Amino acid sequence: MSDPRIIVALDYASAAEAQQLVARLDPARCKLKVGKELFVSAGPAFVAGLVDQGYGVFLDLKFHDIPNTVAAACRAAAKLGVWMLNVHALGGHAMLSAAREAVECVPARPILIAVTVLTSMQDEDLAEVGMMGTAQEAVSRLAQLSQRCGLDGVVCSAREVAQLRRERGASFLLVTPGIRPAQAATGDQARVATPREAIQNGASYLVVGRPITQAPDPLAALAAIQREIEFK
Ligand code: C5P
């Protein structure tokens, strides 16, 4: 399996807890996502360690700052050897373009994707911060901007994936969290899709946290999801 479609979210408070799970997984079967909590507590050395263990790492730090600062952060992330990283599309054209140029600093550049609208934001939250139109319209607009600036894709919810696949074409990456295998508990995720639904609707990669991290046998849970997405 050369390019696993499943990205396991390492939502842990410390390197030790995360490493316990990592030791039970397999880089040939999944990629790993490191977000703000684990990055702040465990640091870049931990990320580099995951890369050394052979994992594709999605560094989910959602950079959003002036172009120069974001470019410098993207360069630093690229040099850690991560497979994928992300920025906020709301940073605008200059920031997105600077990020895209910055990741070229290494021979095999990481994939660069954008967050469009946080799924915690409803239409009224957007109006409150001065954004016109619906969240869905903002998602479409920001995905288009991201593609125009040369980004490889966006993070999007299962609800958005079919429309974005139609609008942005076959090669734009759509990375989808909120995935729950058919029998699993939804937890605090309101809009969920099964792995199969998400892939059928056009998701490129699935971000899966608790259904794997809280499973008694994480590798078996991963294998079950894998089987579900291979069954077309
Ligand atoms: O445990 P669960 O599968 O819900 O974890 C999903 C992961 O994807 C978490 O790391 C969460 O922060 C992230 N995520 C999400 N919804 C978004 C964006 C990111 O659940 N809209």
In a domain, residue 198? The reply is: yes
Q: Is residue 42 very low, low, confident or very high in pLDDT (cuts 50, 70, 90)? A: very high
In a domain, residue 1? The reply is: no
In a domain, residue 95? The reply is: yes
The residue contributing the CA closest to ligand 1 atom 8 is 177
Q: What does each C-alpha distance from 58 to 70, 82, 135, 176, 228 come to in angstroms? A: 17, 6, 25, 13, 22
pLDDT in tens, 163-205: 999 999 999 999 999 999 977 777 887 778 999 999 999 999 9
In a domain, residue 214? The reply is: yes
Say yes or no: CB of residue 32 within 6 Å of ligand 1. Answer: no
What is the mean pLDDT of the segment spanning 72-91?
98
Look up the domain containing 189 and give its range: 6-229
Say yes or no: CB of residue 119 within 6 Å of ligand 1. Answer: yes
| Number of domains into which the chain is organized | 1
Token code pair at residue 24 = 């039970």
Q: Provide the percentage of residues in the chain whose pLDDT is more than 90.
A: 92
* One-letter amino acid of 80: L
The CATH number that applies at residue 210 is: 3.20.20.70
Catalytic machinery residues: 62
Residue 232: the pLDDT is 55
In a domain, residue 161? The reply is: yes
What is the number of the ligand 1 atom nearest to the C-alpha of 9? 10
Residue 191: the pLDDT is 73
* One-letter amino acid of 178: G
**Model confidence at 231: pLDDT above 80:** no
The residue contributing the CA closest to ligand 1 atom 6 is 209
The residue contributing the CA closest to ligand 1 atom 18 is 177
Say how many residues make up the chain.
Answer: 232
Pocket test for ligand 1, best of 8, 10, 11 (most atoms within 8 A of CB): 11
**Mean of per-residue pLDDT scores for the chain:** 95
Q: Is residue 65 very low, low, confident or very high in pLDDT (cuts 50, 70, 90)? A: very high
**Model confidence at 93: pLDDT above 60:** yes
Cα-to-centroid distance, 138 and ligand 1 (Å): 20
Cα-to-centroid distance, 207 and ligand 1 (Å): 7
Residue 192: the pLDDT is 83
In a domain, residue 169? The reply is: yes
Using alpha carbons, select from 215, 159, 219, 197 the residue that is nearest to residue 4. 219
pLDDT in tens, 96-145: 999 999 999 999 999 999 999 998 999 999 999 999 999 999 999 999 99
Burial degree of 188 (CB within 10 A; 0-12, 13-18, 19+): exposed
